[in-house]
Amino acid sequence: MTWRTCKKFDAHVHVLPDERAAQFLEGEGPEAPWSQCSADDYLRRMDRFGIERALLVPNNDQHLYYRDPRETNRFLGELVRAHPDRFHAFADVTASGAYFIEQTPWILEEAVQEYGLSGLKLHPTNLYMDADDLRLVPVLRKAAELSVPVMFHANPCRLGFHDNCAPDKINRMIRVFPDLRIITAHLGGSKWQDALTGCTWADMSYILPRMVEWYGIEQANRILRAFGPDRLLFGTDFPEGDYDVYFDILEQMDFTDEEIEKIAWKNIAGLLTPEDTP
C-alpha cells in the first residue's frame, strides 16, 4: 500500500467562498495558494490526488470568510449538502466581545442541527483569547451535549512569548472535558512536545514538512511514531499543504498498511462517521 493509492480523508482543508478566492486572485495572482482554494478548485485537486473525503474547517477569521459566522456556516453547509460523499465541515465562530458566551453555543447548535455541520473549529489567536479561556466553556459544553468533536488550532509561532494557542492550554481543556473529542491541529506546531504528552487526536497538517526541515526524515518519523497511529490524522492544511510533498515524506516512513489505513482514513472517519468504520 502506498500513500498515493490508499483511501484518504484529508482532515484539515480550507475552502473559501468564490468571492474571497477571487480577491486573492486579483491581489496576489493565480499562483498564490489562496487564489486556488474555491470549492471547484479543491474538488479537482481531490480527484487528482485520490482524496475521497475532506474535512472543511474555517479559522474564525472574518477577513477570509464572512463577518457573521452564521453566514460562513451556511456556506459550508451548502457545500456539504451539494457534495455529501466528499465533504464534512466544522462550524465557525468569531470574536464578539461580551456576546461571545451567550451567542456562540447557539451558533454551534444551529450549524449542527440546521446546516449539517459535524463539529467546531476554534482558532484561539483569531478569537483573541487563550485556548483555556473560561469564556470557551459554554460552547465546549454545547459541543459535548451535541456529541460533536472540536478542533483547536495549535501552531504557536512566537517562541519565548505568550502563545494563546499553545497545546498545554488545549490540554487543560481536554482534562476539563474528558467526554469531548478534541483534535489538536498541526501536531501542536513548534511545541509538539506538549501536544505529545497531553492531546487526544492530532492532525499533521501544515507542520509535517516543517518538521522534516527542522529534524530530518528519521526524527520526523520518530515524532509521528511517538504520537502513534491510533491518534494521528492525515491532513495538509490546503491550500498551504502540497499533496506531492506530503506523499513523498510519508512514503519514507515505516508505517504498516494497517497503520496507514488508520491515519489516512479510519481515525477521522471514526470521529465523524462511525458507520464508515468497523
How, if at all, do strands 182-184 and 119-122 pair?
Answer: unpaired
Q: Is residue 198's pLDDT more than 90? A: no
Q: Render pLDDT for 1-44 as a digit per residue (tens, 0 to 9).
A: 999 999 999 999 999 998 888 888 888 888 778 888 899 999 99
Residue 253 has, within 13 A of its CA and on its CB side, a CA count of: 25
What's the rounded mean pLDDT across residues 232-254? 97
Alpha-carbon distance of 186 to 12, in angstroms, equals 9
Q: Long-range contacts for 92-97 (Cβ within 8 Å, ≥24 apart)?
A: 92/58, 92/59, 92/60, 92/65, 92/121, 93/60, 93/69, 93/120, 93/122, 93/127, 93/139, 94/60, 94/61, 94/62, 94/67, 94/68, 94/69, 94/126, 94/127, 95/60, 95/126, 95/127, 95/128, 95/129
What's the rounded mean pLDDT across residues 241-269? 97
* Spatial contact of 247 and 3, defined as CB atoms under 8 Å apart: yes
* Spatial contact of 155 and 113, defined as CB atoms under 8 Å apart: no
Average pLDDT, the chain: 93
What is the pTM for the complete model shown?
A: 0.95
Q: Is residue 277's pLDDT more than 50? A: no
Q: Is residue 53's pLDDT more than 60? A: yes
Residue 14: predicted pLDDT: 96
